[in-house]
Amino acid sequence: MKRFLTLLLSLLFVFAALTGCSDKKTADDKTIRVGASVTPHAEILEVTKDILAKDGYTLEIVEYNDYVLPNTATESGELDANYFQHQPYLTDFNAENGTHLVAVASIHYEPFGIYAGKTDSLDALSDGAVIAVPNDGTNEARALMLLEDLGLITLKETADFTATILDIEDNPLNLNIKEIEAAQLARSLPDVDMAVINGNYAIEAGLNVSDALAVEDKDSEAAQTYANVLVVREGNENNKGIQALVKALQSEEVREFINNTYSGSVIPIF
């Protein structure tokens, strides 16, 4: 009997622990936990803390230096939302990982730029020059489209936002397009002729959009396609805390902060 009671108590303890660890947010939970890239996303989120506090919410920002963990943590419920990516990346991530993540708001756009490494001007590029681009699918396509806009390469007519170096149809300078992890592109500059760098990583490396040899047109299709979005797990789109966060991120305070802080390297898109 004693052993039976001990076993019963143990089972009750496990059951209580499991039911108490649900990742489902309760209606009165006033803490919003958001994963974000350090720059500029976490910095922008900091501006919303006081705005959210007026509505009784506490914002907890978890910083990440990669493009995978914020999504898996949002899928699992460890995070309520994340803010670091654009829609094409999110679409690919869901398809490849079986996740159920959705965008709830577009916040800003970071123009891609091509930055000088060993070669200091586009006109000075020689035959066989090395140009580094991001190695993740959607960002690689975006970089190649910028190179095409600059007349350096021509992509196949069928190329879209999933294009890779295999979609290059014409390469008159025989450029060596080197695929590198996005976070390492700025560090690669001393070793390559030029690099096409994501806006957030350029900022982290101390590069301004004014330093770029060329950037995407702010009125281009890319500006809309690659807007950085606030992302939640499907089903949480109408959560009151998430809606309060959307309102705060699309506020005039945030617009002014972006315009005054990033000198054109980050552009509000709301």
Give me the long-range contacts of 121-126 (CB less than 8 A, separation at least 24): 121/213, 122/150, 122/152, 122/194, 122/213, 122/214, 125/152, 125/173, 125/175, 125/193, 125/194, 126/173
Distance CA 96, CA 234 (A): 16
Structural domain includes residue 25:
no
pLDDT in tens, 5-23: 444 434 433 333 333 334 4
pLDDT of 49 above 80: yes
Contacts of 19 (CB under 8 A, 6+ apart): none
Domain of 177, CATH number, reads: 3.40.190.10
Structure-block tokens of residue 187: 């560090």
pLDDT in tens, 138-149: 789 999 999 999
Structural domain includes residue 47:
yes
Task: Please compute the mean of the pLDDT values over residues 122-137 and round it to a whole number.
Answer: 95
Task: Please compute the mean of the pLDDT values over residues 26-36 and round it to a whole number.
Answer: 83
* pLDDT of res. 148: 95
Across the chain, mean pLDDT equals 89
- Residue 232: which of 46, 51, 40, 100 has the closest Cα? 100
Please count the CA atoms within 13 angstroms of the CA of 10 that sit on its side-chain side: 6
Q: What is the dihedral of CA 73, 75, 77, 80, to 10 degrees?
A: 80
Considering the domain architecture, whether residues 104 and 125 belong to the same structural domain is answered as no
pLDDT in tens, 151-181: 999 999 998 888 999 999 999 999 999 999 9
Structural domain includes residue 41:
yes
- Residue 84: which of 127, 52, 17, 36 has the closest Cα? 36
pLDDT in tens, 211-240: 899 998 777 777 778 899 999 999 999 999
Considering the domain architecture, whether residues 118 and 106 belong to the same structural domain is answered as no
Print the domain residue range for 58: 31-110+226-268
Considering the domain architecture, whether residues 199 and 126 belong to the same structural domain is answered as yes
**pTM beyond 0.85:** no
The one-letter code for the residue type at 181 is E
Considering the domain architecture, whether residues 181 and 52 belong to the same structural domain is answered as no
Structural domain includes residue 12:
no
Total domains in the fold of the chain: 2
* pLDDT of res. 7: 43
